[in-house]
Amino acid sequence: MPPVFRFAPSPNGYLHLGHALSALLNFDLARQAGGCLLLRIEDIDATRCRPEFERAIYEDLAWLGIAWETPVRRQSEHFAAYRAAVERLVAQGLVYPSFESRAEIGRLVAEKEAGGAWPRDPDGAPLYPGTARSLAPAERDRLTAQGLPFALRLDMAAAVARVGPLRWREAGEGPDGESGDVAARPEAWGDVILARKETPTSYHLSVVIDDALQGVTDVVRGADLFWSTSVHRLLQELLGLPAPAYRHHRLIRDAAGQKLSKSTRATGLRELRAAGATPADIRRLVGLS
């Protein structure tokens, strides 16, 4: 079977040089391996995603000389598949609702931090304190009946205990040079959110479902997502899905050494194109020949 690669941008801004590196690497690797490249639009966040950004993705990728298979998968059109996966995890007793607002969670974390060091996830955010894990069923029902917003969280300790140690095959490199056969550390993320009342999925869940449904064999993406792979491996195992091979690539940084953001105009593909850059210039700028 020929390998299947994918580029999976979110249409919440215009593409920059970091996206160009990711898309071009996927395209080149797929071509070298005689495989195919899929394009997936990760638009589950209706408040931030916009049709003009999606149109710009097609335009910018085509300008770069990248070709992809159609139809393009748009995550917002597949909420039923994600809902079904959450239901399977609920049925396994691994999911619970939490009702705290962001501010309340902030206060709970501040209390924990006042009592000593409190762990942070690989992105630097404090772990959810797990307060709602022990809510009595009657209390859960009462809060749900009030119509409060909620997040459905994975009971991480229970999930990890269920599947045991996990690993993945890494052809690229992690932030500390991790490579080859990497040990997953999903517990470092705490009780991650799988879905919310208004959005029946999350980044972690939809990526895992889609990579499996689309038969993706090779995930090539930025090193900022390296440790997310721990959660992805765990969800794959819980849901009985195959694990692709992973290749995390270096990030493009700005002059100050910061990761590029969609709002930094100097590195936007549209700005560079308007200033006269060619697709070959973009390849050079991201360090590909």
Name which of 156 and 208 has its Cβ closer to ligand GLU.
208
Question: How many other β-carbons are positioned within 10 Å of the β-carbon of residue 106?
Answer: 12
Number of residues that bind ligand GLU (CB under 6 A): 7
User: Does residue number 9 form part of the binding site for ligand GLU (CB under 6 A)?
Assistant: yes
Chain-centre distance for alpha carbon 62: 24
Which H or E element spans position 98?
Answer: strand 95-98
Taking alpha carbons only, the member of 8, 18, 26 closest to residue 223 is 18
User: Does residue number 8 form part of the binding site for ligand GLU (CB under 6 A)?
Assistant: yes
Choose which of 3, 42, 96, 170 interacts with ligand GLU (CB under 6 A). Answer: 42
Name which of 83 and 259 has its Cβ closer to ligand GLU.
259
Prior bond of 129 cis (ω within 30°): no
User: Does residue number 233 form part of the binding site for ligand GLU (CB under 6 A)?
Assistant: no
User: Does residue number 225 form part of the binding site for ligand GLU (CB under 6 A)?
Assistant: yes
Cα–Cα distances (Å) from 15 to 59, 62, 90, in that order, read: 10, 12, 36
Place of tokens 């991201």: 286
Give the integer Cα–Cα distance in Å for 118 and 114.
9
Name which of 190 and 222 has its Cβ closer to ligand GLU.
222
Taking alpha carbons only, the member of 47, 77, 61 closest to residue 16 is 61
Binding mask 255-284 for ligand GLU (x = CB under 6 A): ------------------------------
User: Does residue number 221 form part of the binding site for ligand GLU (CB under 6 A)?
Assistant: yes
Name which of 110 and 125 has its Cβ closer to ligand GLU.
125
Q: How far is the CB of 203 from ligand GLU (least distance, A)?
A: 7
Which residues would be at the binding site for ligand GLU (CB under 6 A)? 8-10, 42, 207, 221, 225
